[in-house]
Amino acid sequence: MSDDSTSTRTHQAGAFDIRNIIGALMGVYGVILALAGLFGDPELEKTGDVNANLWTGLALVVVAVAFLAWARLKPIEVPEEFDRPDDDPTRPAPQRKRPPAQ
Amino acid sequence: MSSDTLIDASWLDYLLVAIYFGFVLGIGVMARRSVSDSIDFFLSGRSLPAWVTGLAFISANLGAVEIMGMSANGAEIGLPTVHYFWVGAVPAMLFLGVVMMPFYYGSKVRSVPEFMFKRFGTGAHLVNAISFAVAQLLIAGVNLALLAGIVSALLGWPTWIALIVAAVIVLSYITLGGLSAAIYNEVLQFFVIVAALTPLTLIGLNRVGGWSGLTDKITEAASSAPASAEVASAEQQLNSWPGQALAGFDSGLLSVIGIVFGLGFVLSFGYWTTNFVEVQRAMASNSISAARKTPIIGAFPKMFIPFIVIVPGMISAVLVKEMIDLKGGGTPSGGASGDVTYNDALLLLMRDVLPNGLLGLAIAGLLAAFMAGMAANISAFNTVFSYDLWQRYIRKDHSDDYYLRIGRLATIAATVIAIFTAQIAMGYDNVMNYLQTLFGFFNAPLFATFILGMFWKRMTPTAGWVGLVFGTLSAIAVDRLAAAGVIDLPGQGAAFLAASTAFVVDIALSVVVSLVTKPKPASELKGLVYSETPREDLVDPDEAAMPWYRRTIPLAGIALAMVVVLNFAF
C-alpha cells in the first residue's frame, strides 16, 4: 500500500515476485522454442510454411523481458508485518513448520 | 492411424512439460517450507496488485470447461459459443463486482455452506453441503476424464489405465503441495495457456487461409453435409445471434430468450456469484474496492479468450480429417476415448498443425489446467466433507489430528470416486452439454435461494431447504424428460431449460413456504440480508479519491461497452 510509507521497514519481493517467475518461465520457454526453430525440424508442412517455433520463441522472449523489466523498474515492497496465510489443514501434504497465523 | 499414439511427442515436448512441473512443484515446496517472506506475502494475497488477483480469478475458471468444452462447442456449433463468454460470463462478473462483492466482503462469509448455515440454519446447510460435495465429485470426474484423454493420446494407453495414472498424478500434485501456491500456479497457468493457444489459433488460421478461408470452408461443409448429420447451417455457425444451434430452439426469438434468461441470467449469475472457488480470490484483497475490481479486471481478458478457444475448435472442424468426417455424420475412430468426439477437436488440431516444441507447450498448458482444476475440486470436496458434514453432523469435538486424518481419507476416496464419475463424463460426446446439465442441477437452485435469501428478509429457514431440494429435483426431472425424448432440444437447450425450471420452482416454492412458516428475527440477519446490513459496510471510503481508471464503476462501464460492441461485431 502506497500510503504505508511512514513505516519504512520493507524489503523487495525479489526472485519471488510473481512477475519474475512469469518472466523466468516465459524466458526459458522462449529460448528453447527459438533454438528448436533454428536448429530443429520446423515441420513447415504442418504450420503452412511458417517457422512457428522460432516466432513463438521470440515473442515469448519479448514477453519475458517485459515482465522482468517491469519487476525491476517498479519493485513490490514487502512489509515486515503482514497477515501470513493459514495452512490448509484439509490437504494431506507436509505441514508448515511454524504455527498458522492468528 | 499410422502411429500407435494420437499425438507424437518428442523429447523436446516432454522437456517443456517437465520444466513447467518443475516450476510449479518447486514453488509448492518452497511455499510449504516458507523459505522467504515474499512467498508468504504473495500467498496471503494481501495488497497483491489487482492484475494478479484478476488473472487468478479467471484462471481458476480457465480449466477443462473453458478449453476443451468451448473448443468442442466451437467445432460443433461455431460462433454462438461466444455467448458463454459475452452473455454467460462478463455481465455476471460485472454484477458480482458492482453489486454482490461489497455484500460478501462486508458480511465476512467465507463459503456458501457457511452463508446457508447462518442465514437458514441446519436444513439448508445440510442440503447445500451434500449437493456441493456431490457436484465437486462429478466435476472432478470431468477434469479427470479430460486429463486421462491427454495421457492416453500421448502414450497410447487404454482409457482405464490412463484414468488411474491421471488420478495418481493429481494425488501426487496435491500431496507435493502444488496447490498451496495456488495463486502463483494460476497466474503461470494463464500465461502458458495463452502462449500455447495463440500460436495454435494463428497457425490454424494460416492453414485454412485466414478468417475468410475459414468462413468459406464452414459454409461449404455445412451445405454439403447430409441432413442426417444435423449440422447447423453456416448462417447459424458464423453469427453469434440468434444462436439457435446453441439453444436448440427453431425460433430465433425463443432462442434469444433462452440464451439471455437460461444462460445469461440463471446459469451464469448462478455460477459466478455463488462459486466461492473463484470468489475467494477476490475476497483475499486488501479492501472492498480491490475485491470489487478483481472480477471486473478479470472480465477484460475473459472477453478475448473465445478467440483462442472457440476459433481453434471451428478450424479443427474444417481442417482435421476425423473432425470433418464426424461433422459430416460419420463415426471416425481414433479419438482419446475410442471413437472421435467433439471433445477431441483441440487435441487433433494440435496434432495436425503444431511442430514438436510448441506441441509440448500446449500439452503442458492443458495438463496444468486439468490437473489444477481437479485438485481444486478435490480440495473443495475435502473441506466440505471434513468440516461441514463430518464434524458438524457425524463426529463432533474430536482433535484437529482426527479431522486431518479424515481429510486425508476423503482426498483419497474422492480421487477414487472421480475415476468412476469420469466414466459418466466420457459418455457425453460434448463435455459442455454435461457440465451445463450439472450446473443446472446444482448452481441454479442455489443461486435462487441465495439471492432471495439475501434480498428478502421474510424468507424462512424451512423455505431455504425446501427450495433447494425441489429446485434440484425439478432440474433432474427436466433432464430425464429430455433424455427420454419427451422434450426435444438439441445443443445445450435442455440444460438451459432445466436450469430455468429449477430457478423458477425454487423461487416459487420458497415464497409460498415462507408465507406459511416463521421467519428468523431481524436481529439475527445483520450482514446476511441486504436491508439489515448498514450501508457504510458496503462502500470503500477511499475509492472516491482514486483516478477514474482505478474506480469500480467506470471500469465496469468500459467492460460492458466493450462486450456490447463485441456482440454487434460477431
Encode chain B (570 residues) as per-residue pLDDT tens digits. 334 577 777 889 899 989 998 888 888 777 776 666 666 666 665 556 778 878 888 887 777 667 888 888 888 888 888 888 888 888 888 888 888 887 777 666 666 777 788 888 888 899 988 988 998 899 899 889 888 888 888 777 888 888 898 898 888 887 776 666 777 788 888 899 999 999 999 999 998 888 888 888 888 887 777 666 666 777 777 777 776 766 666 677 777 777 777 777 777 887 777 776 677 667 666 677 777 888 888 888 888 888 899 999 999 988 888 888 887 777 777 655 567 888 888 888 998 888 988 999 998 988 888 887 888 888 888 878 887 888 888 888 887 778 778 888 888 999 999 999 998 888 887 777 788 888 888 888 888 998 898 888 889 999 989 999 999 999 999 988 888 877 776 667 788 888 889 999 999 999 999 998 888 888 887 777 877 777 766 666 666 667 776 777 788 888 888 877 887 777
Report the residue of chain B nearest A53, measured CA to CA: B358
Does any domain span residue A28?
yes
Contact call for A11 and B37, based on CB within 8 A: yes
Where does residue B338 fall: left (phi above 0), alpha (psi -120 to 50 degrees), or beta otherwise? left
**Residue-number span of the structural domain to which A30 is assigned:** 11-74
With an 8 Å Cβ cutoff, are B19 and A1 in contact? no
Question: Per DSSP, what are the bridge partners of residue A12?
Answer: A77
Q: How many CB atoms lie within 10 A of CB B526?
A: 12
pLDDT value of residue B134: 92
B349 to chain A: closest CA residue = A46
Q: How far apart are the CA of B451 and the nearest CA of chain A, in angstroms?
A: 29
What is the rounded CA–CA span in Å between residue B525 and residue B532? Answer: 6
The minimal CB distance from A18 to the residues B44, B187, B386 is found for B187
Complex ipTM: 0.81
Nearest residue of B to residue A46 by CA position?
B353
- Amino acid present at A53: N
Handedness of CA B13, B15, B16, B18 (dihedral sign): positive
Q: Which of B43, B356, B386 sits opposite A85 (nearest CB)?
A: B43
Q: How far is A1 from chain B (nearest CA, A)?
A: 7
How far, in whole angstroms, is CA B136 from its chain's centroid? Answer: 12
Q: Which residues 43-62 in chain A show a CB within 8 A of chain B?
A: 43, 46-48, 50, 52-53, 55-56, 60
Contacts of A91 in chain B (CB under 8 A): 174-175, 177, 179-180, 379, 382, 407, 411
β-bridge partners, A10:
A79
Please state whether beta strands B333-335 and B338-339 pair in parallel, antiparallel, or not at all (unpaired).
antiparallel
Please tell me the CATH code under which domain B11-569 is placed: 1.20.1730.10
- Record: contact A18-B42, CB cut-off 8 A: yes
CB of B12 within 8 Å of any CB in chain A?
yes
Of A11, A47, A92, the CB nearest to B353: A47
Q: How far apart are CA A31 and CA A53, in angstroms?
A: 10
In a domain? residue A55: yes
Query: Cβ contacts of residue B367 below 8 Å, gap of 6+?
Result: B17, B20, B147, B150
pLDDT in the model for residue B472: 92
Nearest by CB to residue A91, choosing from B49, B174, B358, is B174
Count helices and strands (H / E) in chain B: 28, 2
Residue B335, SS3 per DSSP: strand
Contacts for B24 with CB less than 8 Å, ≥ 6 apart: B178, B181, B184, B185, B188, B368
Report whether B229 contacts B328 (CB < 8 A).
yes
In this structure, which amino acid lies at residue B452? L
Asked if residue A35 belongs to a domain, the reply is yes
Give the HSE-up count for residue A15: Cα atoms under 13 Å, Cβ half-sphere.
Answer: 5
Instruction: Give the minimum alpha-carbon distance from A46 to chain B in angstroms, rounded to a whole number.
Output: 5
Write out residues in chain A with pLDDT < 70, as ranges. Answer: 1-10, 13-14, 80-102
pLDDT at residue number B153: 80
Query: Domain tally for chain A?
Result: 1
d(CA B456, CA B463): 12
What span, in angstroms and rounded, lies between the C-alpha atoms of B499 and B356?
A: 43
Does residue A43 fall inside a structural domain?
yes
For B213, the grid coordinates are 478461408
Can you give the C-alpha Rg of chain A in angstroms?
A: 21
